């Protein structure tokens, strides 16, 4: 409450009616009447104008629907809400654009038009394009700092949440630097990524790097890999779970133990591992098959394997926000992982249920942001996928299945990038990106995945050159600092190894299935994000007033030492002094947003 400003409250009030409340606009009696299908209730120009807030967020919540292209969103909306319905989260974000998704070829650096989740997530987490299968490194093997690492360096709290194994590509890209996404534990790493194994002087497996990365809150599946034992270092021959506990982590494994937590910080970070593999999905139903679209339409059913002991995505989101919310701000990434996995499996009910789950998580984040007034919420996907809505009841080439939607009518889904019993593939189209809060306007128009990195980093005032702190206690594994990436770019490690185990990409492997397949992959995923390739680490891009640049001599973060000389500098100095005297933190934040003080 104390953090709300009058301007934000007024803008939120206007938008809640004009934009977020348009699910029930004044209309004729039905969608078949003139104007009956309208979603706009009058002219929204003023509401959009009010929704544009200056950049400079205190907190950022980034929500990723893995594999959630426009087709997946539309199918889920049709089924759960009806064609004229609206999602409470996904459809309530006022600023909307599209962004490009492509990876780069490991050898040539040219575009690889269909990205996998690893390359894609590396694009927005580090601002650097890479090849399919790589995490946190560029195509030459150089590591680049991620948003979580940069936020930790600034003293912010950080969180990483997923319904997949926490070692899976999307969550791992914020915490690790490795050449092959499948190297979950020490065993796989010694075999497939040997140059990066701990015993050979590397950063270790993905699971070991997650422990070293020390996000304040890490929640997901994947406990099986944490049962493997370290092959070197201070915790040699101990399981990774034992290591995490020795290093101060609070370990939780069900909804009750998660609910009992009251704090998360660098002395006592949280590691929640709720399943051995991926989370069970929300809904189940028959998969698409050859000719399946001509069979009688079906309704999706609740999955009995999804019990209350495993928290839902909105519960994870709410708890993470509750644990992370603090005066210094936080960065949180949340992934709804199995939209992708069920799309790979040609399972429309599984895919749709996971999209509904993500919508509920977006709603939770949006509710917090509207109350808080200083939080940027961004929702997007990592890559497009194979599912398409085709004519109801049609027998098109490929695999089909017909569902009965909330409208009481039939919708036929088609999957045609692989044959039956094979894993369906990613596709290379641009994706929807939507946002609310300070800096949300930066998603409007056509951008690239790497642009999102800089929107977040600049908005939070992150410095890519800042040193990432290590363990508050003993040094992880006896080497340099916990994450090994102190140095934005060149740190020895993430692998000269290029991708030992396998090829340029997990590549065609396409992540079979909805699956337990620890590689999730589809991985033809070409990764993420354009324009600044390489920008991440080198301070060149924007950096929005991280305090290192020579603006405002003598003022916060300026070149230091000299007295104010110009009228603007004197005025700013006076303003800063008054603000300091009255202790007006809200006043200072407002001044930063308006450009009076450096961010």
Q: Residue length, the chain? A: 599
Beta strand 301-302 with 283-284 is antiparallel
Pairing of strands 95-100, 445-448: parallel
CA 422: distance to chain centroid? 27
Among residues 55, 71, 117, 515, the one annotated as catalytic is 117
Do 354 and 90 contact (CB within 8 A), yes or no?
no
Q: Is 117 a catalytic residue?
A: yes
**Which of 22, 18, 6 lies closest to 47 in space, CA to CA?**
18
Q: Considering only CA atoms, which of 23, 100, 59 is closest in space to residue 370? A: 59
Task: Give the other-Cβ count within 10 Å of 583's Cβ.
Answer: 9
The whole-angstrom separation of Cα 580 and Cα 568 is 18
How far apart, in whole angstroms, are the C-alpha atoms of residue 245 and residue 238? 11
What is the separation, in whole angstroms, between the first and last Cα of the chain?
22
Residue with tokens 């050898």: 107
Please, how many CA atoms are within 13 Å of residue 40, restricted to the half-sphere of its CB? 7
User: What is residue 480's three-state secondary structure?
Assistant: coil
Q: In this structure, are residues 124 and 453 in contact, taking their beta carbons and an 8 Å threshold?
A: yes
Give the list of residues 6+ apart from residue 582 with CB closer than 8 angstroms, or none: none
What DSSP state is assigned to residue 199?
G
Among residues 398, 394, 422, 415, the alpha carbon closest in space to that of 351 is found at 415
Give CA separation, 4 vs 56, 77, 328, 375, 546, in Å: 14, 32, 15, 11, 24
Please tell me the distance from the alpha carbon of residue 308 to that of residue 253, in angstroms, as a whole number: 12
Active site residues: 117
């Amino acid at each position: 409450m104390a953090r709300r400003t009058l301007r934000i409250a007024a803008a939120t009030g206007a938008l809640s009616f004009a934009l977020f409340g348009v699910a029930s606009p004044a209309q004729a009696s039905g969608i078949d009447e003139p104007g009956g299908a309208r979603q706009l209730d009058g002219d929204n120009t003023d509401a959009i104008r009010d929704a544009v807030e200056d950049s400079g967020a205190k907190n950022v919540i980034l929500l990723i629907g893995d594999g959630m292209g426009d087709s997946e969103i539309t199918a889920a909306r049709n089924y759960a809400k009806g064609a004229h319905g609206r999602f409470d989260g996904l459809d309530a974000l006022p600023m909307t654009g599209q962004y490009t998704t492509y990876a780069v070829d490991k050898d040539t650096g040219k575009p690889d038009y269909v990205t996998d989740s690893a390359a894609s997530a590396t694009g927005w987490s580090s601002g650097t394009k890479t090849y399919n299968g790589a995490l946190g490194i560029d195509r030459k093997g150089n590591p680049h700092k991620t948003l979580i690492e940069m936020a930790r360096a600034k003293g912010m709290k950080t969180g990483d949440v997923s319904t997949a194994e926490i070692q899976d590509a999307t969550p791992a890209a914020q915490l690790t630097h490795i050449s092959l996404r499948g190297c979950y534990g020490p065993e796989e790493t010694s075999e497939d990524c040997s140059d990066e194994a701990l015993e050979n002087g590397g950063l270790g497996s993905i699971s070991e790097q997650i422990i070293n990365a020390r996000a304040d809150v890490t929640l997901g599946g994947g406990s099986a890999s944490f049962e493997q034992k370290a092959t070197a270092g201070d915790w040699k021959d101990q399981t990774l779970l034992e290591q995490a506990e020795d290093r101060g982590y609070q370990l939780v494994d069900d909804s009750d133990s998660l609910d009992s937590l009251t704090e998360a910080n660098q002395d006592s970070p949280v590691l929640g591992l709720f399943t051995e593999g991926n989370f069970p999905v929300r809904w189940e139903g028959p998969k698409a098959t050859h000719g399946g679209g001509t069979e009688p339409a079906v309704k999706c059913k609740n999955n009995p394997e999804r019990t209350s002991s495993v928290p839902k995505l909105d519960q994870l989101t709410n708890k993470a926000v509750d644990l992370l919310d603090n005066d210094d701000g936080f960065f949180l990434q949340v992934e709804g992982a199995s939209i992708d996995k069920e799309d790979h499996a040609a399972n429309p009910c599984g895919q749709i249920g996971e999209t509904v789950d993500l919508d509920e998580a977006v709603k939770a984040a949006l509710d917090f942001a509207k109350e808080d007034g200083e939080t940027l919420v961004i929702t997007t996907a990592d890559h497009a996928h194979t599912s398409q809505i085709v004519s109801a009841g049609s027998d098109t080439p490929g695999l089909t299945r017909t569902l009965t939607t909330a409208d009481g009518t039939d919708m036929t889904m088609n999957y045609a990038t692989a044959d039956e019993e094979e894993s369906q593939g990613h596709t290379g189209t641009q994706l929807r990106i939507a946002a609310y809060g300070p800096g949300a306007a930066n998603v409007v128009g056509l951008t690239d995945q790497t642009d999102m990195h800089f929107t977040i980093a600049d908005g939070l005032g992150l410095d890519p050159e800042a040193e990432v702190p290590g363990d508050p206690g003993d040094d992880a594994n006896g080497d340099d600092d916990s994450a090994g990436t102190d140095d934005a770019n060149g740190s020895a490690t993430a692998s000269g190894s290029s991708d030992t185990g396998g090829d340029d990409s997990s590549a065609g492997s396409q992540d079979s299935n909805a699956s337990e397949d620890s590689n999730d992959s589809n991985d033809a995923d070409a990764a993420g994000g354009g324009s600044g390739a390489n920008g991440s680490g080198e301070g060149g891009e924007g950096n929005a007033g991280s305090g290192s640049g020579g603006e405002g001599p003598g003022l916060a973060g300026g070149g230091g030492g000299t007295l104010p000389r110009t009228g603007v500098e004197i005025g700013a100095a006076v303003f800063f002094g008054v603000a300091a005297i009255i202790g007006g933190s809200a006043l200072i934040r407002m001044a930063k947003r308006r450009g009076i003080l450096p961010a």
